[in-house]
Structure formats: C-alpha cells, structure tokens
Amino acid sequence: MAACGEMGTMKLTVPIADDGQIDPRFGKAVRMAVGTVADDGQLTDWQINEVGWDVLHDQGEHGQHHARIVRFLKENQIDRVVFAHIGQPMMHTIDKMGLQLVEAPIMDAKDAILQAAALQEG
C-alpha cells in the first residue's frame, strides 16, 4: 500500500452510525470516524468525531457546508474518503482536493476502512 499521510500510514474517514455501521448520509452525518492504517494493514488509530452535519447542512449557504467538510478533511489530513452515498457536488469537491473516494455498502465502518486502505491507488 502506498503511504499517503505520514510515512507508512494512510488516514481514512467514513460517516459512522450509532451501531458502528457506515452511515449512508455523508453530507448529513452526525459523526465521522477517522482511522489510521499502517502499511502492514493494521488499524493503528480510531477516532470518532461529532460533526453535527445533520443539523448544519441546512444552516447557511450550501457552499458554506462544503467548506466545513473540506476543513474537516484537511484538519484530519485525510487521504481517502469512504462512503455509502455522497452527492455529486460533494464528490466533485473531494475529487478536486485530490483525495480518493471509495464507495462501500452499509457495513462495519472499521472493516470498510481496512478494506479501503488495502485498495491500490489508481
């Protein structure tokens, strides 16, 4: 696996539901998980961030909401974004940032992060 973040690690994020599964609402996620995966495929860090995008989504301009998400991705030094559903405008924004998007079915969020980290770039 090619390292994107720190030497030998990759940082990924995924919207996470209360039950630990992927939340299908990326832009309206209540919380986002950030996982760090080492070159050997091991999950070395796992953090849950309360983002409140479900409430914030409908407050202010749409561009402000996208900026909020971009800020989260940059602050957490994300390399790959795992999602079950994401709107085309947000997908375009993340793609412009140079981040990789990985679509996944509703499944355990940690498993999805590990599977997405194992994918070859391209």
Domain assignment present for 33? yes
Q: Residue 55, SS3?
A: helix
Domain assignment present for 57? yes
- Amino acid of residue 118: A
Domain assignment present for 92? yes
User: What domain range includes position 40?
Assistant: 9-118
Please compute Rg for the chain using Cα positions. Answer: 13
Give the pLDDT confidence score for residue 55 in this predicted structure: 75
Domain assignment present for 65? yes
Domain assignment present for 3? no
Domain assignment present for 77? yes
Domain assignment present for 50? yes
Domain assignment present for 1? no
- DSSP, res 13: E
Give the pLDDT confidence score for residue 2 in this predicted structure: 39
Total number of domains in the chain: 1
* CATH number reported for the structural domain that contains residue 81 in this entry: 3.30.420.130
- CA 58 to chain centroid: 20
Annotate 99-112 with DSSP letters as a single string.
-EEEE--S-BHHHH
From first to last of its 122 residues, the chain has per-residue pLDDT tens of 334 444 589 999 999 999 999 999 998 999 999 999 999 999 999 999 999 998 766 676 666 878 899 999 999 999 999 999 999 999 999 999 999 999 999 999 999 999 999 998 65
